[in-house]
Structure 1
């Protein structure tokens, strides 16, 4: 199963013309922001090979990132660790999604959103699609953009905070990351509301 333009065509049939795909990455990591992307593709110029970013090689993701940037309206946004801890990861993901939509050069008139929940406060007509990054080309494009951008953030943070392995685990709770948490403690970029971090910070 590969994503296609069926959902976008259905929205066009309802009279919408600027349809944005929206996806986020980084719900599961113990550190770093959650990142969302919104992408409005040109129906006449869709890059070949779009798919869920998790199903693509790093080389394919990088190629598609460059191609999407050239032919689409792209916006990438984050919700910070502080916002994740203040609200919760789901709400923070939705905040990032709304920010990404608001950051597009030309406002969209419809949004296709990966998942099963429309973000609170989103006034735009929209539709949720479970596993949308495998079904909608616009959402798969957004998943690629968000993944590449968040990985770049984590690579930068890994240079500032060596030892946690963020350059490879991207903030997820790998053994190296968990061992470093025990040994080095938490950085300002750790999500204190996440149980593994909380337990280490506040252990007896």
Structure 2
């Protein structure tokens, strides 16, 4: 059973990201403030839920949240500032979009940088412990999947609709065969040594 709040019922935001380990596409973060009376028995860490369940939960979260926001950071930004900093930046930008401004932030993971003057706590596996982080994980995942499905239409040979940009063997074989796109993260090791890409 997920906990409702970490510190305060009053405007506590959870934040999480999706797509950190991918070779292509954005890193996507979300921030969510849930009301004190929010109840949902299905809500959990997005990684433990089926795609269908995540899609069912997304409109419930969006309709019932006090506020929510989602941010995509593109591969060019990831390559420039690295994936850890891009993940943190995406979460920060999502929090800055919230209205009203949260009074406290709980972050999935163990690294974060302050936003404005808002106090925060980092919680390892927070998406499996707190409702607002779980809700943020679902929004980040569903919005990113939606993005990857869209760019799959542009580059169907990489099958992003299926692998969502993660380093599957199929994805890496496609990189070897077709090269890279504007959506690939050039700072990542796109191919293992035995499949080295000629650029």
Q: TM-score over 0.5 for the alignment? A: yes
Match of 1:184 in 2: 178
**SS of corresponding position for 1:70:** helix
1:11 shift after superposition: 2.8
Match of 2:163 in 1: 169
1:122 shift after superposition: 5.2
Say whether residues 1:27 and 2:20 are aligned partners: yes
TM-score (norm 1): 0.90
Say whether residues 1:103 and 2:100 are aligned partners: no
Spell out, residue by residue over 1:42-97, the C-alpha distance to the aligned partner (whole angstroms, 9 max, x if none): 11133331100010111211111010011001100121101100011000001100
1:197 shift after superposition: 5.2
Match of 2:71 in 1: 77
Match of 2:2 in 1: 3
Distance 1:156 1:182 in 2: 22
Asked if 2 retains the 8 angstrom alpha-carbon contact of 1:36 and 1:78, the reply is: yes
Q: Give the alignment partner of residue 63 of structure 1, picking from 56, 68, 86.
A: 56
Distance 1:88 1:198 in 2: 20
TM-score (norm 2): 0.93
Say whether residues 1:134 and 2:133 are aligned partners: no
Distance 1:145 1:90 in 2: 19
**SS of corresponding position for 1:172:** coil
Aligned residue pairs: how many?
197
Which stretch of structure 1 is more off in the superposition, 121-130 or 62-71?
121-130
Asked if 2 retains the 8 angstrom alpha-carbon contact of 1:30 and 1:197, the reply is: no
Distance 1:81 1:108 in 2: 28
Asked if 2 retains the 8 angstrom alpha-carbon contact of 1:114 and 1:132, the reply is: yes
Q: 1:79 to 1:114 in 2, by over 3 A?
A: same
Asked if 1 retains the 8 angstrom alpha-carbon contact of 2:114 and 2:120, the reply is: no
Asked if 2 retains the 8 angstrom alpha-carbon contact of 1:30 and 1:194, the reply is: yes
Match of 2:112 in 1: 118
Q: 1:33 to 1:23 in 2, by over 3 A?
A: same
Spell out, residue by residue over 1:12-56, the C-alpha distance to the aligned partner (whole angstroms, 9 max, x if none): 4xxxx2100000010000000000000000111333311000101
Distance 2:192 2:85 in 1: 19
